[in-house]
């Protein structure tokens, strides 16, 4: 529904500038700008019944802009400019005014629902709280309305879910609860800050369709924040492209996608992996913009290095036969039953190649990787590696074998010890496995690995908090390489990274594979990323391997209905309407 032209926007942001004070209050202030540069702030409107998307990489100022709107920035933030809600100024408004507005008129849904939900309160208690606070409902009325909203967002068995705790729900169910909580008081504006980033493609599709349906049913406006233009193209009416705290371009979604004016917007569109085609390398935003400049000034760019062809008859380095894993679950006071997380999974991985493992959350992808490494003890099956059966190795031999099988986890912020300098992180496995003749040799090896992943020797003395997410993931990869492994298990290793950093890490992984002959098990819910990096793809569903073939055959000619549903759920971006 398009509002009348005479209707004023619900939200007006004019020349917004945000900076953060660094250091202690007793020191001379040092300010770090986050939104706005060179005296020019961020400006945009959110009209009634419309969806406006803020798009950009991590650090572009999207979330800071949204938090400034609702007054949720920390005390060291300084905001200038104007933010008006239906003509009412919000910057500098009394705390009581903002509390009355939040939840009742403007609601927020954040990226990580587990961090937003209180782990010691039931879902029903948390849903009822804003209803009693803002609408003055009784406990019984609030419970009935909470059940209604859980049903409205498509949560099965809503009455039972009211008594559940957050940890008893899946990620997609937690996000539905957050949406129900945001909409419970029927606000006019919902701010959705990366609400689907950590979800698999089918749950992501369900959340997008849910938001679109509720927007039409309730007459909502949406401020949708994302780094993924494919998602934005499906849900937004207007797009605001941000970089380094500035608006680079804004306009209707059809114009932004069909005729982008700014080189940065064109780079964002070009850097996303696609299900169609398998390029030698993914373009990185800065490289893409530089290439545009080179073409405009008639400078000839060097051709990309050719990719080493994959050998279909390469030796098998890892063979899994009928791998099973059961987890014990409680039933009642004394009862227990076994939950089958893996049901007889079998596959082969060849030297220097990548096997992509795809499936929804709960399909057993991560359990498969952890069980291979015996971070989960298997229930049955065989894993053959280097002529040895890994699952039956004695403890004395298992440590040596672990050198050759390493893992990179999803969250680069939780993968590194915050109390260890990077030099300690890289040299610790060398000491444990008695590699390198001296500390000087180990340090030289650590420096060489940092350079190999695109960092320099100055990183040795720094701590993890001094690096971005992409740099931390590079360090995690370097830590794995210290032991000269043959196989890397990459468990959602790029899903937490924005599009440009993701492209850099994927290109790095390909380069390392070509240089070192590494084999990868690449676990991901992002089928476009899997298409780029994988030679073969294994599709998992409810703990079973339902289909395995080359990446091209799986994604272009799927044989199973489940695979087709997965592919159909992938965001396609904007397409001409009508």
Q: What is the C-alpha separation between 173 and 155, in angstroms, rounded? A: 7
Number of H helices, E strands in the chain: 21, 21
For residue 328, what pLDDT is reported? 84
* Predicted local confidence at residue 309, as pLDDT: 62
Please report, for residues 127, 128, 131, 391, the alpha-carbon distance to residue 124 in angstroms, rounded to integers and kept in the order given. Answer: 5, 6, 11, 44
Closest by Cα among 550, 491, 485, 530 to 512? 485
Q: Are 390 and 383 in contact (CB under 8 A)?
A: yes
The per-residue pLDDT for 54 is 94
Report CA-CA distances (Å) from 227 to 205, 224, 275, 514. 16, 10, 18, 29
Crossing angle for the helix pair 422-432 and 439-452, to the nearest 10 degrees: 120
Q: What pLDDT score was predicted for residue 7?
A: 66
- How far is 106 from 104, CA to CA, in rounded Å? 6
CB 236 within 8 A of CB 230: no
CB hemisphere CA count around 189 (13 angstroms): 24
Q: Which residues sit opposite 358 in a β-bridge?
A: 539
**Residue in this structure with the two tokens 């080189």, named with its chain if needed:** 263
Which pLDDT score is estimated for 547?
Answer: 93
A 10 A CB-CB count for 514 gives 14
CA distance 124 to 366: 30
pLDDT of residue 306: 47
Name which of 325, 334, 280 is nearest 306 in CA terms. 280
Domain with residues 317-568, CATH architecture: 3-Layer(aba) Sandwich (3.40)
DSSP string covering 181-222: HHHTT--SEEEEESTTTTS-HHHHHHHHHHHHHHHHHHT-EE
Tell me the pLDDT tens digit for each residue of 456-469.
Answer: 888 999 998 888 77
401 and 317 in contact (C-beta within 8 Å)?
A: no
pLDDT on residue 1: 45
Residues of the chain with pLDDT below 70 are 1-7, 26, 198, 277, 294-310, 331-335, 575-578
* pTM over the 0.85 mark: no
Sketch the domain layout of the chain as residue ranges. 111-186, 317-568
Q: Can you name the residues that pair with 17 across neighbouring β-strands?
A: 80
Residues 255-286: tens digit of each pLDDT:
999 999 999 998 888 877 777 767 777 878 88
Averaged pLDDT score across all residues of the chain = 86
Residues 566/527, Cβ–Cβ less than 8 Å = yes
């Amino acid at each position: 529904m398009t509002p009348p032209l005479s209707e004023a926007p619900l939200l007006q942001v004019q020349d917004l500038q945000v900076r953060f004070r660094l250091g202690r209050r007793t020191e001379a202030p040092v300010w770090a700008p986050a939104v706005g540069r060179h005296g020019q702030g961020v400006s945009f409107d959110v009209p009634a019944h419309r969806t406006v998307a803020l798009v950009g990489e991590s650090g572009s100022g999207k979330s800071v802009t949204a938090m400034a709107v609702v007054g949720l920035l920390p005390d060291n933030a300084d905001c200038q400019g104007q933010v008006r809600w239906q003509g009412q100024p919000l910057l500098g408004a009394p705390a009581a005014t903002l509390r009355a507005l939040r939840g009742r008129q403007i609601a927020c849904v954040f990226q990580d629902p587990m961090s937003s939900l209180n782990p010691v309160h039931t879902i029903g208690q948390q849903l009822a709280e804003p209803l009693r606070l803002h609408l003055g409902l009784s406990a019984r009325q609030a419970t009935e309305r909470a059940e209604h909203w859980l049903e409205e967002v498509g949560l099965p068995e809503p009455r039972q879910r009211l008594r559940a705790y957050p940890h008893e729900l899946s990620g997609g169910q937690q996000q539905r609860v957050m949406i129900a909580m945001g909409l419970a008081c029927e606000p006019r504006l919902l701010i959705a800050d990366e609400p689907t980033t950590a979800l698999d493609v089918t749950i992501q599709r369900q959340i997008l369709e849910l938001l679109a349906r509720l927007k039409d049913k309730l007459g909502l406006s949406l401020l949708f924040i994302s780094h993924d233009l494919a998602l934005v193209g499906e849900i937004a009416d207007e797009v605001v492209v941000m970089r380094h705290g500035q608006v680079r371009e804004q306009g209707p979604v059809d114009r932004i996608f069909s005729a982008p004016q700014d080189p940065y917007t064109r780079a964002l569109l070009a850097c996303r992996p696609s299900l169609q085609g398998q390029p030698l390398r993914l373009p990185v935003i800065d490289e893409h913009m530089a290439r545009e400049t080179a073409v405009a000034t008639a400078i000839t760019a060097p051709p990309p290095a050719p990719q080493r062809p994959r050998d279909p008859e390469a030796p098998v380095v890892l063979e899994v036969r009928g791998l099973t894993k059961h987890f014990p679950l409680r039933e009642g006071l004394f009862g227990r039953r076994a939950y089958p997380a893996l049901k007889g999974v079998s596959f082969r991985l060849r030297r220097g190649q990548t096997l992509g493992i795809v499936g929804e959350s709960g399909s057993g992808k991560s359990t498969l990787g952890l069980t291979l490494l015996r971070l989960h003890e298997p229930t049955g099956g065989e894993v053959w590696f280097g002529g040895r059966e890994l699952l039956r190795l004695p403890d004395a031999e298992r440590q040596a074998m672990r050198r050759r099988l390493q893992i990179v986890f999803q969250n680069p912020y939780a993968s590194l010890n915050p109390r260890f300098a990077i030099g300690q992180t890289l040299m610790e496995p060398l000491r444990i496995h008695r590699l390198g003749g001296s500390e000087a040799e180990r340090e030289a090896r650590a420096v060489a690995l940092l350079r190999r992943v695109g960092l320099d020797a100055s990183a040795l003395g720094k701590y993890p908090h001094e690096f971005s997410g992409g740099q931390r993931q590079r360090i995690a990869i370097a830590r794995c390489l210290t032991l000269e492994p043959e196989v890397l298990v990459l468990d959602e290793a790029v899903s937490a990274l924005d599009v440009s950093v993701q492209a850099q890490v994927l290109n790095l992984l390909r380069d390392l594979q070509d240089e070192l002959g590494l084999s990868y098990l690449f676990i991901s819910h992002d089928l476009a990323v899997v298409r780029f990096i994988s030679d073969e793809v294994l599709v998992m569903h409810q703990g079973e391997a339902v289909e395995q073939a080359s990446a091209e055959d799986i994604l272009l000619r799927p044989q199973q209905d489940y695979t087709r549903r997965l592919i159909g759920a992938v965001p396609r971006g904007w397409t001409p309407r009508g």
